[in-house]
Chains A and B, each alone.
Chain A
Amino acid sequence: MTDEESAMPENTGGQIVLRNHWSVIIGNILSAVITVGIMLFITALNFSEKGLDYGERWVVIGIILVGSLTFIFWRRWKLTTYTFGDTEITVDRDTVFKKQIHIQYSRLASVNVRRSIINHIFGTTALLFNVNSSVNSAQAEAILTLKKDEADKIREAISQRIFQREMVVKEEVKQETLVEISNFDVILHGFFGQPSQQSIIGLASLAYSIWSLFWGASGGLAAIIIFVFSYAYPMVMSILRYYNYRIYRVNDTITVESGMINNYRSSFSVKKVNAIRIRQPLLARFMGKALLEAEVVGIADQQGIPLLCPLKSKKTVMTLANQLIPEMLFDVEKSGQPSKALIPTMANRVFFALVLIAVGFCFYTYTESLADLGYWEHLALLAIDALLMLILPAILVIHGLLAHAGRAFASSDELFMFVIGAYDRETDFIRYDKVQMSVVSSGIIQRRFGVAQCTISTMSAMGAKNIRSGVFFKEDLDAVPSEIMARIRDGRYDYKRYQ
């Protein structure tokens, strides 16, 4: 099979018909060999523990399985075509299940690039076609692998349609990054960029698994699994994903490049940005650092929403935001929560703190009645008592105080801003025109003080997202839905602006 026949471009009445490069089959076979190998190894171990040793028969089973899968991969490759028409891309697959996907160019949010090890070996590039939809946001609508120069041409042609300008690949390569991100920054981002609760769960699980290893307590394996999935895996993937980070803007197109093993290049128009977020997890706040993210529908991948800046000093992040995406910022005359919001903010936390203290007290009286406890068991029970009666209530109360002190709300002609969070803090700048639905709510205590909270629903990179404000006077928050409607009524909202 030659490279020439691999992509098989055909010109059918002005339409270009392409097929994936044959190296896709190699990539699929390698994945299948690894998956089947692990599955058979685990099964063989289980069988041998029960005294059933099938020896080489496992290898035969493996070969048959991989052989069958290879035939399926080859057939799928042969019978899948990508037709580039005047208005849309059509993906046809005529295997056991017949499938036809129509992707209109006007619906495309971006065409991203991914280069894995297999791509590097065979000199190919995978093009990821992302649709402007919240339903299938974390997964590309179609992936087409071609020889690199051929992929560059296709990407240029489609980018020209999406971004209304010629996006020359050579031009991208020359661009200087707007912010210097060292790989040490990326590693710091991996460690401290995750939400604090995720880090705490992960590190607590690690601590417990170490403790169980030394003292023979049960649940050590479960704890290590929790640690791996909640902390270690996201951290490693984040470092691999954002290594060699570069970001730049050409006219209205922002491009992010990164990757240690696989290389990624994502481009999107600033018009497609629904909101930007400056996020500061607790430990990052102590270090005076922040990170910048953008909500762009159709751009998410397994790593989450597009990252515009890994953890850097807050000043650097703000400078970058002003250079990169000034459309999403405004001079903030922000107002914090009013003093009348203090009691409503604290009430439920104080209530739950008291419930925890009561539960802790009951637990304490119960455990005191238990006899024949060893020294370590007694110590563990005391730790639980302290957690229930002291630590958790204190965390709740401090959470309330920090939330009251930190939350803010501000608005401008086109945008509004919520500062939310207590330990971790985030500042969201949101376009009025991108709000899908708004809910202003006030509980019993909030009504007594004339305050409320506003929840807005918007399309996000990962699907739909709700963002909830702090506690402010109801009439101030009612201005959000009023402004959304006012912009629709007087024509300031124009859907064409965002196409």
Chain B
Amino acid sequence: MFIKITEKESELPYISVRISVRIPNIRLYMLVHQGDMNDEFAVDESGMTSDGYHILDPVSKRSMYLKNLIVFAILALFFGLGIHYADIIWETDTDLYRMGLLAVFILIAVYLIVSPIVFYRRYRYRLDDDKVDIRRGIITITHTMVPIERIHQVEVSKGPINRMFGLANVNITTAGGTATLEYLNEPVAESIASKLNECVVRLLKDRDQN
């Protein structure tokens, strides 16, 4: 089985991810075309969008792929067992069930392969003096806005896989929930967390003085 993924960086913001899956006697071509992407994700030479949003470090894709690889291995084990022991599980004509399981597994595998690229392409964040903006999404695109005035707590978290690649997350907690800036370089994450903490402390001091 041979899988080739091609990204065409130059065609931003209209990205095409071409996946070629070749199994003996079967050749599948999949084109994940993001033609509906708006200019909000387009970046210039400085690596920022026209309205000042930052992109992630490309190394974040490696971290995502490693995580997905682990998920893939676990799923492969369960699906493999399901397909192998289909006779025992369903006690009836099992080919249909085997095909069904295989189809679901292929769909998940394709998602695991494609999602880091799309996630990386569509992840944009911006830190202003008064708010944090995050645009992200693989299938559904979300635009999260957190006013700094509402922030209660800022936390930098580093999981084992992110640590391997020098990455970290910044968890921003408000009274209504938590927003997370993901896959940031450790120094960037620390600097964002420290800036947000400073803003929150300044805000509370101002209130105390008033």
- Asked whether, in the complex, the Cβ of A466 is within 8 Å of the Cβ of B143, the reply is no
Q: Which residues of B contact A (CB under 8 A)?
A: 36, 130-131, 137, 139-147, 149-150, 174-177, 179, 207, 210
* Choice from A437, A443, A481 contacting B176 with Cβ under 8 Å: A437
Report if A458 contacts B (CB, 8 A). Answer: yes
Q: Which of B36, B141, B175, B179 has the most chain A CB atoms closer than 10 A to its own CB?
A: B175
- Asked whether, in the complex, the Cβ of B141 is within 8 Å of the Cβ of A442, the reply is yes
**12 pairs of residues in contact across A and B, judged by CB atoms under 8 Å:** A134-B175, A435-B150, A436-B150, A437-B146, A437-B177, A439-B142, A441-B137, A442-B141, A459-B175, A484-B147, A495-B207, A496-B210
Per-residue B-contact encoding for A450-493, CB less than 8 Å = 1, 0 else: 00000011110000111000000000001001001100110001
A418 CB to closest chain B CB (Å) equals: 15
Report if A447 contacts B (CB, 8 A). Answer: yes
B116 CB to closest chain A CB (Å) equals: 19
- Asked whether, in the complex, the Cβ of A436 is within 8 Å of the Cβ of B130, the reply is no
* Choice from B130, B142, B144, B176 contacting A435 with Cβ under 8 Å: B176
A483 CB to closest chain B CB (Å) equals: 11
Closest B residue by C-beta to A446:
B140
Per-residue B-contact encoding for A238-267, CB less than 8 Å = 1, 0 else: 000000000000000000000000000000
Q: Which of B137, B140, B145, B210 has the most chain A CB atoms closer than 10 A to its own CB?
A: B145
Closest B residue by C-beta to A459:
B175
Given contacts A436-B150, A457-B177, 20 further A-B contacts (CB under 8 A): A435-B176, A436-B175, A436-B176, A436-B177, A437-B174, A440-B143, A441-B142, A442-B140, A442-B141, A443-B140, A447-B36, A447-B141, A456-B176, A478-B143, A484-B147, A485-B130, A485-B147, A488-B149, A489-B130, A493-B149
Q: Which residues of A contact B (CB under 8 A)?
A: 134, 435-444, 447-448, 456-459, 464-466, 478, 481, 484-485, 488-489, 493, 495-496
A275 CB to closest chain B CB (Å) equals: 12
Given the contacts A437-B179, A441-B140, A488 and B147 also touching, CB distance less than 8 Å: yes
Q: Once bound together, how far apart are the Cα atoms of A442 and B137, in whole Å?
A: 9
**9 interchain residue pairs of minimum CB distance:** A436-B176, A457-B176, A436-B174, A441-B142, A481-B145, A457-B177, A443-B140, A459-B175, A440-B143
B190 CB to closest chain A CB (Å) equals: 23
- Asked whether, in the complex, the Cβ of B142 is within 8 Å of the Cβ of A485, the reply is no
The residues of A that contact B139 with a CB separation of less than 8 Å are 443-444
The residues of A that contact B150 with a CB separation of less than 8 Å are 435-437
B173 CB to closest chain A CB (Å) equals: 10
A463 CB to closest chain B CB (Å) equals: 9
Q: Once bound together, how far apart are the Cα atoms of A448 and B149, in whole Å?
A: 34
Q: Once bound together, how far apart are the Cα atoms of A481 and B130, in whole Å?
A: 12
Q: Once bound together, how far apart are the Cα atoms of A456 and B141, in whole Å?
A: 16
* Choice from B131, B146, B177 contacting A464 with Cβ under 8 Å: B177
Q: Once bound together, how far apart are the Cα atoms of A495 and B174, in whole Å?
A: 15
B89 CB to closest chain A CB (Å) equals: 15
The residues of A that contact B131 with a CB separation of less than 8 Å are 485
The residues of A that contact B130 with a CB separation of less than 8 Å are 485, 488-489
Q: Once bound together, how far apart are the Cα atoms of A441 and B139, in whole Å?
A: 10
Q: Once bound together, how far apart are the Cα atoms of A448 and B176, in whole Å?
A: 31
B164 CB to closest chain A CB (Å) equals: 30
Q: Which of A436, A440, A464, A465 has the most chain B CB atoms closer than 10 A to its own CB?
A: A436
Given the contacts A436-B150, A447-B36, A489-B130, A441 and B174 also touching, CB distance less than 8 Å: no
The residues of B that contact A438 with a CB separation of less than 8 Å are 144-145
- Asked whether, in the complex, the Cβ of B137 is within 8 Å of the Cβ of A485, the reply is no
The residues of A that contact B210 with a CB separation of less than 8 Å are 496
